[in-house]
């Protein structure tokens, strides 16, 4: 199986491989600073506590608006212009945090970074879809998810080591991490600028084809169903992993900082291993079956977490670890599968907008998830939150059956035939 999987990876178009490598580097850079923004601004820079809170809020709000703008630009302008621009702005924004000694600089960095990072997921998904087709498209989205998780985890470890190293001052060490993150985005911008062909936005677009609109995307019931599943999954899973899960387990005293660190590390390891070991064996299973199964896995996860909150010591750790394992496997069955399905459904005229909406649904969990946790955690020691998450996970599986009725079998079943040797034409 491993040899077969490696053969499929080796057969990917050269552009897809380069995109995966550049995403690996930028994901490593993101991991360097992933856990630190709040600590950096409040404890290292000594800014008032409202500053990191406002910075995160501004960054998230800017990202939602910016993502929709980038999606429209991708459908109207050359990829060779839009993709490097997105990466450069994101790099400048995160590097600007190295200078965040005042609230004004911190908030300015949040705006710039939010504008840039909002387009990163959108442009990468659009690019992957543009340079692959058929079974290779599903494969590249799966690899992207594994690369992101794995390299982000490596970056988190490296960033943690640098943050406690006896090299310079704390401000200098953390500033260096943000500059390094920025450089990874700039490197990605340079590589994609060289990778993409020159030309005009409409050079390869038939005269009768015109860029669509967000309204035309939302009129497609298949895309609406995909977006609805992604939004609900984002709220009950991705948005809760850094809010509801640690909030519930620590408030009850079931786990401490060490237990949470173990859970976070386990999530990354299981996701990466599952991506490489399990997904190749499931390529002939219906996509809707895989996504529907993820809802059941999420429900099982929250049930185990609910019980873990009533335990202490080893029992709590084991139950929490089992729940996180189910969540990790479920994560692998959602984003890569739905990303490939969405890009098989849409046409090139709205591909940028469709991927922008998908990224917005995914990132919305980072806003809605913590908000739900803040409301439902305090009453009855978090029991309402756990009930909500279990019910929401089961509802996700129900929505998947709606999606199955709206797509054809050839879309639901991954196309396993190999594409022609030539790389697909790429909008220049």
**Same-domain pairing of 29 and 170:** yes
Domain around 403: 213-415
Higher confidence at residue 95 or residue 382? 95
Distance between CA 168 and CA 231 in Å, rounded? Answer: 43
**Same-domain pairing of 250 and 275:** yes
Residue pLDDT, tens place only, 289-315: 999 999 999 999 999 999 998 888 889
Residues 6+ apart with CB under 8 A from 304: 319, 320, 322, 323, 326
Higher confidence at residue 204 or residue 48? 48
Residue 370 lies in a domain: yes
* Residue-averaged pLDDT of the chain: 84
Nearest by Cα to 87 from 185, 183, 21, 180: 185
Handedness of CA 143, 148, 149, 152 (dihedral sign): positive
Residue pLDDT, tens place only, 19-41: 899 889 999 999 898 878 888 89
Residue 206 lies in a domain: no
**Same-domain pairing of 152 and 24:** yes
**Same-domain pairing of 195 and 279:** no
Over residues 105-116, the mean pLDDT reads 94
Residue pLDDT, tens place only, 171-202: 999 999 999 999 999 999 998 888 765 543 44
Nearest by Cα to 238 from 367, 338, 145, 139: 367
Residue pLDDT, tens place only, 1-20: 555 566 777 778 888 888 89
Residue 6 lies in a domain: no
Helix (H, G, I), strand (E, B) or coil at 77: coil
Residue 395 lies in a domain: yes
**Same-domain pairing of 113 and 245:** no
pLDDT band at 238 (very low <50, low <70, confident <90, very high): confident
């Amino acid at each position: 199986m491993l040899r077969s999987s490696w053969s499929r990876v080796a057969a990917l178009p050269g552009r897809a491989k380069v995109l995966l490598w550049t995403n690996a580097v930028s994901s490593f850079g993101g991991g360097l600073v992933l856990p630190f923004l709040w600590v950096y601004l409040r404890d290292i820079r000594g800014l008032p506590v409202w500053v990191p809170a406002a910075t995160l809020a501004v960054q998230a709000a800017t990202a939602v608006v910016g993502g929709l703008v980038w999606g429209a630009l991708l459908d109207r302008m050359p990829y060779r212009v839009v993709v490097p621009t997105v990466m450069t702005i994101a790099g400048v924004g995160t590097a600007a945090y190295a200078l965040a000694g005042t609230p004004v600089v911190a908030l300015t960095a949040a705006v710039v970074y939010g504008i840039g990072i909002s387009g990163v997921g959108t442009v990468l998904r659009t690019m992957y879809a543009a340079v692959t087709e058929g079974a290779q498209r599903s494969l590249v989205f799966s690899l992207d998810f594994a690369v992101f998780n794995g390299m982000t985890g490596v970056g988190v470890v490296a960033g943690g080591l640098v943050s406690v190293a006896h090299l310079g001052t704390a401000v200098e060490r953390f500033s260096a991490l943000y500059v390094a993150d920025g450089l990874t985005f700039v490197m990605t911008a340079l590589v994609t600028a060289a990778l993409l062909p020159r030309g005009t936005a409409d050079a390869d677009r038939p005269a009768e084809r015109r860029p669509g609109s967000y309204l035309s995307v939302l009129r497609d019931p298949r895309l609406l169903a995909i977006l609805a599943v992604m939004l609900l999954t984002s709220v009950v899973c991705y948005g809760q992993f850094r809010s509801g899960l640690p909030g519930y387990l620590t408030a009850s005293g079931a786990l401490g900082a060490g237990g949470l660190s173990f859970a976070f590390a386990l999530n990354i390891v299981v996701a990466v291993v599952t991506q490489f070991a399990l997904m190749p064996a499931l390529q002939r299973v219906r996509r809707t079956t895989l996504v529907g199964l993820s809802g059941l896995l999420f429900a099982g996860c929250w049930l185990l977490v609910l019980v873990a909150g009533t335990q202490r010591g080893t029992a709590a750790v084991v139950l929490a670890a089992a729940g996180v394992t189910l969540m990790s496997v479920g994560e692998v069955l959602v984003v890569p599968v739905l990303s490939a399905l969405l890009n098989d459904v849409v046409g090139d005229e709205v591909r940028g907008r469709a991927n922008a909406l998908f990224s917005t649904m995914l990132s919305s969990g980072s806003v809605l998830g913590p908000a739900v946790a803040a409301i439902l955690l305090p009453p009855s020691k978090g029991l309402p939150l756990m009930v909500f998450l279990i019910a929401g996970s089961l509802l996700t599986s129900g929505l998947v059956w709606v999606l199955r009725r709206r797509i054809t079998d050839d879309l639901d079943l991954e196309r396993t035939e190999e594409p022609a040797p030539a790389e697909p034409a790429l909008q220049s």
